[in-house]
């Protein structure tokens, strides 16, 4: 089992927090860590729903599964909640890997502008996520004035802007980037 963190950054203007919506579909590209050519591009899953399993399955509940060519077992991806992520990061720290409270997934805050921040933890067995693809409906933005934007927060082009009419202020995210790190 390997732990991966999705980290995002952007230049934030008028933004108090940027966060993933818990039940929104997420899109990733994954690869077989034992093969250079086996990949699955732009797989989509919902972190709030696990796949149905047979009673005979010995695998724990998971959000995505793939069986690579020549493999007997499924490779799985599980999105971790806050407690599971904290526990997994502590285990990694004991084994001498990086990881600690600074790596815990959290919301991106205004003062994080331009810095990568972990927003999602994934436990993977037999697969490796290597690219995140924003779909256009997975982020929530709260302005410095407290107005929440959930619809049409589309970062797939790298930029998003809106206007907080209640507080007469522009709200924007520019130069959005995502990276996936192994912990």
The whole-number pLDDT of residue 99 equals 46
- Distance of alpha carbon 65 from alpha carbon 125, whole angstroms: 9
Q: 7 with 127: CB under 8 angstroms? A: no
- Taking the C-alpha atoms of 33, 132, 142 and 164 in order, what is their torsion angle to the nearest 10 degrees? 170
Mean pLDDT of 119-137: 96
Helix, strand, or coil (residue 74):
coil
- Distance of alpha carbon 9 from alpha carbon 128, whole angstroms: 21
Q: How confident is the model at residue 1 (pLDDT cuts 50, 70, 90)?
A: confident
Encode pLDDT of 60-78 as tens digits: 789 999 999 999 989 999 9
Structure tokens at 35: 């093969």
Q: Is the model's pLDDT at 175 over the cut of 50?
A: yes
Which residues does residue 177 pair with via DSSP β-bridges, in sequence order? 9
- Distance of alpha carbon 136 from alpha carbon 26, whole angstroms: 10
Q: How confident is the model at residue 56 (pLDDT cuts 50, 70, 90)?
A: low
């Amino acid at each position: 089992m390997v732990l991966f963190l999705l980290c995002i950054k952007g230049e934030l203007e008028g933004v108090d927090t940027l966060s993933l919506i818990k039940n929104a579909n997420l899109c990733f590209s994954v690869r077989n860590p034992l093969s250079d050519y086996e990949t699955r591009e732009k797989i989509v899953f919902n972190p709030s729903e696990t796949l149905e399993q047979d009673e005979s399955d010995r695998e724990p509940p998971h959000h995505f599964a793939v069986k690579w060519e020549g493999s007997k077992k499924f490779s799985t991806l599980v999105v971790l909640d806050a407690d599971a992520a904290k526990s997994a990061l502590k285990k990694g720290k004991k084994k001498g890997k990086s990881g600690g409270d600074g790596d815990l997934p959290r919301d991106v805050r205004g003062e994080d502008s331009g810095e990568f921040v972990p927003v999602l933890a994934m436990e993977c067995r037999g697969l490796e996520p290597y690219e995140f693809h924003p779909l256009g409906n997975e982020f929530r933005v709260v302005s410095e004035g407290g107005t929440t934007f959930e619809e049409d927060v589309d970062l797939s082009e790298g930029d998003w802007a809106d206007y907080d009419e209640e507080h007469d202020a522009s709200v924007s995210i520019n130069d959005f980037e995502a990276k996936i790190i192994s912990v």
